[in-house]
Amino acid sequence: MASDSNRPLSPHLQVYKPQMTTIMSILHRATGAALAVGALLITWWLVAAAIGPGAYDVARNFAASPLGLFMLFGWSFCLYYHLFNGIRHLIWDTGYLFKIKNAYAAGWVVLALTAACTILTWVCAYGDKA
Amino acid sequence: MSLSPKNHWLALRATAIAAIPLSIWFVYSIVHISGTDYATFTTWLKQPLNAGLLILFIIITFWHASLGVHEIIEDYMHGKIKNISLKTKAIIFALLALVCVVAVFKVSQSQTQNSAGAAVETPAASNEIPAPKRRILRPQTSPDANEPTRVNND
């Protein structure tokens, strides 16, 4: 560590054993950042619709391409994770779920709901196609 | 639009709570209209409830995103770069939200496409009219007309 400053240093994260709570906290910020980038794609989609059918089809074809589908899948996962873990954070704001055991239990609920809703969404999107 | 720390905290929570039902509605709608053509989408967006909820979703979630990115910038950037980044970020999210809302208004206010589609299109899109016109003229009342138009036709 460079010590060119007398400011106190953060804990050295690399010597910490990863824990579910820390990983989920980092993931909350990462998914939030990814969703912020997703705002660009929502803008593209709506602007394309405003321009006309040709531009809309370009956006639609991209969404149906392998890269587009991959991004949409990632977006849906990020949204559900950020949504459910955000609710976990809102509950923390009210003073509940602070016991280690409860914080972990709520974390598992968030992960289970994220997985279930992500899968359910894609089953619904493709279910009537098959 | 730099808020005081207290108001930033409150705004982040308030937009988060508002975003919960709006996000669920948004994902449901995306799944509902996924893979449909332009006409189906614009028909959907011309319903005032859908246009209103979409505008609300955009304002709330883009604001929430702006507040969240604000915290990330504050954590990892310092001094002059931080201030420039915060201002740039605020302008970008405000512009994106504005562009989206204008786009929703434009689509929802445009005339029904099957009679005078070419007349209401912007000049920029005029060269793209002929090919999709067949799609526009497709009757939208038939319920099963929507399903086969899904995106895997290529």
Write the ipTM.
Answer: 0.88
Question: Helix, strand, coil shares of chain A as percentages rounded to 5?
Answer: 80, 0, 20
Q: What percent of chain B has pLDDT over 90?
A: 64
Q: pLDDT at position B1, please?
A: 54
Does position B125 have pLDDT exceeding 70, yes or no?
no
Would the CB atoms of B38 and A76 count as touching at under 8 Å?
A: no
The answer to whether residue A128 neighbours chain B at the CB level (below 8 Å) is yes
Nearest to A51 by CA among B151, B128, B74, B69: B128
Which of B34, B45, B122 lies closest to A52 in CB terms?
B122
- Residue B148 confidence class, pLDDT cut points 50, 70, 90: very low
Q: pLDDT at position B132, please?
A: 42
Q: What is the distance in angstroms between the Cα of B132 and the nearest Cα belonging to chain A?
A: 6
Interval A58-72: pLDDT, tens: 999 999 999 999 999
The answer to whether residue A41 neighbours chain B at the CB level (below 8 Å) is no
Q: What average pLDDT does range B26-54 have in this prediction?
A: 94
Would the CB atoms of A129 and B127 count as touching at under 8 Å?
A: no
Contacts of A43 (CB under 8 A, 6+ apart): B96, B99, B100, B103
- Which 8-state DSSP code applies to residue A44? H
Which range, B74-83, B95-104, B124-133, has the best average confidence (pLDDT)? B95-104
Q: What is the mean pLDDT of chain A?
A: 91
Distances (CA, A) of B88 to B16, B27, B68, B70, B95: 23, 29, 14, 11, 11
The C-alpha torsion from B138 through B143 and B148 to B149, rounded to 10°, is 50
Q: pLDDT at position B140, please?
A: 45
Q: Which one is predicted more confidently, A103 or B118?
A: A103
Would the CB atoms of B65 and A125 count as touching at under 8 Å?
A: no
Q: Which one is predicted more confidently, A20 or A127?
A: A20
Would the CB atoms of A83 and B20 count as touching at under 8 Å?
A: yes
Q: What percent of chain B has pLDDT over 70?
A: 71
Q: pLDDT at position A5, please?
A: 63
Would the CB atoms of B132 and A57 count as touching at under 8 Å?
A: yes
Q: What is the mean pLDDT of chain B?
A: 81
Q: pLDDT at position B153, please?
A: 44
Q: pLDDT at position A105, please?
A: 96
- Please state, in angstroms and rounded to a whole number, the distance separating the CA atoms of residues A120 and A117: 5
Place of tokens 């308030």: B14
The terminus-to-terminus CA distance of chain B in angstroms comes to 46
